[in-house]
């Protein structure tokens, strides 16, 4: 069974990553790109072929399906969720995966023309996968394991249950969402209609990751109004919006940047800076696990603008700020057994659970605040959103086995 499951996972994964599903943060449509629906329609067809008769794609791009219970026991309805889109940070078109069986633990040539290597010295976790089937990019695109690995794992687990009706289980709901990578994945998701009591996203990274905490998140746009005059006649007249933009960024704490933080440490991350002497803008994401620290960071952005307005004149700096999502811990802790069941499933499979906060967000963070507590489980990939992304087939198989073990534990515990 083990070899057969690996073959099925690999076949699915390669089929899914062949479809470009990159989302677009600049789009005003939902989903943000029509090409995401190419994969969504494929998934509906596959679910129908497996016998999930209610599998459907709705007007918002959500794929949902139900595997009915095959027992009379009172078992909570469990949801399994993954997202179809890939990151806007790098192309997801024409992905050419490299499959390396019995990886030797050494440097991997990604692209000969670019002299590009995936090296354990740069990514120490890589050496842990020696002897496994390693899947990498060719150095020109991302791989798409985030989150097509999660989709492949869910689909393979569901197929296994369909083909083995002697395995008793409660009702299982499947949900595949668009636009997770741009923070809009479940904005129009109907939790009540979905009908699950608890759910799990298969959207984590390394083997064993189990997460029920994530960042509180906000986006801030800093708009700067300068005054442009001829530089030869600029003394005491010019107000250079670009210079003020650099000054604004320089006033933020240097060590509260992503490159200096880890674990529970939050940050300000400048994502974009553009403009002219006359007008400029900076875009930031603000992150912290601690709600009080999060609110302090937002207040500091506003205070910095106030300081510069006093220096250069009222209205010079204007802030547009919007909360994006919040730490799901508050919503998951009251039903902490959802985490404990996932942890037990991993331990029974010989996997060491790595319980740590997500330094980002998942669809599960919003779903939790929408009334569907939703911890996050590893999908197995590393270095998401870039050309150094990789995953092993063995990690994907383990994730599939965790799904099946959790479903079994819910049947045994009935809670």
Task: Determine the Cα–Cα distance for residues 173 and 365; give it in Å rounded to an integer.
Answer: 18
Respond yes or no: is residue 24 known to be catalytic. no
Q: Which two tokens stand for residue 141?
A: 């695109």
Phi first, then psi: give them for residue 217, nearest 5 degrees. Answer: -135, 140
With a CB cutoff of 8 Å and minimum separation 6, the contacts of 163 are none
Task: Determine the Cα–Cα distance for residues 156 and 23; give it in Å rounded to an integer.
Answer: 25
Task: Determine the Cα–Cα distance for residues 193 and 195; give it in Å rounded to an integer.
Answer: 5
Which residues are paired to 65 by β-bridges? Answer: 174
Question: For 271, which DSSP code?
Answer: E
Task: Determine the Cα–Cα distance for residues 246 and 260; give it in Å rounded to an integer.
Answer: 19
Instruction: Give the DSSP H/E element, type plus range, for residue 148.
Output: helix 145-163
Give burial (CB, 10 Å; 0-12/13-18/19+) of 297.
buried
* Residue for token pair 């601690």: 290
Question: For 358, which DSSP code?
Answer: B
Respond yes or no: is residue 101 known to be catalytic. no
- Given a contact cutoff of 8 angstroms between Cβ atoms, the answer to whether 81 and 110 are in contact is no
Task: Determine the Cα–Cα distance for residues 129 and 123; give it in Å rounded to an integer.
Answer: 12
Q: Which of 20, 46, 146, 180 is catalytic?
A: 180
Q: Which of 20, 85, 147, 209 is catalytic?
A: 85
Q: Smallest Cα–Cα separation from 151: which of 203, 88, 79, 207?
A: 203
With a CB cutoff of 8 Å and minimum separation 6, the contacts of 368 are 328, 331, 332, 374
For residue 115, the SS3 value is coil
- Given a contact cutoff of 8 angstroms between Cβ atoms, the answer to whether 362 and 219 are in contact is no
Task: Determine the Cα–Cα distance for residues 287 and 295; give it in Å rounded to an integer.
Answer: 10
What residues are labeled active site?
A: 85, 180
């Amino acid at each position: 069974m083990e070899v057969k499951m690996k073959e099925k996972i690999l076949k699915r994964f390669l089929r899914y990553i062949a479809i470009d599903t990159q989302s677009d943060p600049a789009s005003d449509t939902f989903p943000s790109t029509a090409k995401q629906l190419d994969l969504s329609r494929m998934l509906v067809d596959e679910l129908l072929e497996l016998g999930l008769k209610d599998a459907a794609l709705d007007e918002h791009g959500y794929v949902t399906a139900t595997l009915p219970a095959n027992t009379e026991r009172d078992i909570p309805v469990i949801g399994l969720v993954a997202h179809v889109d890939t990151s806007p940070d790098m192309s997801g078109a024409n992905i050419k995966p490299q499959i390396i069986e019995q990886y030797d633990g050494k440097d991997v040539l990604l692209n000969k023309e670019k002299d590009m290597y995936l090296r354990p010295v740069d990514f120490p976790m890589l050496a842990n996968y020696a002897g496994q089937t390693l899947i990498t990019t060719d150095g020109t695109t991302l791989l798409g394991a985030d989150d097509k690995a999660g989709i492949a794992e869910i689909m393979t687990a569901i197929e296994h249950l369909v083909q083995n009706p002697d395995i008793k289980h409660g009702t299982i709901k499947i949900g595949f969402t668009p636009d997770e990578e741009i923070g809009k994945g479940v904005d129009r998701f109907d939790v009540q209609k979905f009908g699950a009591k608890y759910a799990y996203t298969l959207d984590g990274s390394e083997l064993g990751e189990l997460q029920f905490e994530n960042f509180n998140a906000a986006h801030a746009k800093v708009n700067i109004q300068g005054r442009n005059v001829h530089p030869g006649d600029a003394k005491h007249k010019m107000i250079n919006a670009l210079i003020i933009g650099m000054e604004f960024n320089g006033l933020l704490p240097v060590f509260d940047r992503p490159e200096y933080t880890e674990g529970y440490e939050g940050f300000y991350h400048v994502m974009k800076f553009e403009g002219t002497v006359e007008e400029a803008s900076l875009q930031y994401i603000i992150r912290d696990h601690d709600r009080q620290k999060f609110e302090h960071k937002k207040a500091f952005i506003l205070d910095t603008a106030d300081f510069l307005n006093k220096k250069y004149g009222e209205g010079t700096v204007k802030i547009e700020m919007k909360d994006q999502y919040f730490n799901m811990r508050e919503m998951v802790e009251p039903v902490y057994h959802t985490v404990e069941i996932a942890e037990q499933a991993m331990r029974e499979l010989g996997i060491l659970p790595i319980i740590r906060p997500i330094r980002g967000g998942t669809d599960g963070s919003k779903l939790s605040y929408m009334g569907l507590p939703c911890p996050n489980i590893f999908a197995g990939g590393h270095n998401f959103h870039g050309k150094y992304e990789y995953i092993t087939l063995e990690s994907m198989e383990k994730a599939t086995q965790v799904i099946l073990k959790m479903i079994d534990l819910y049947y045994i515990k009935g809670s």
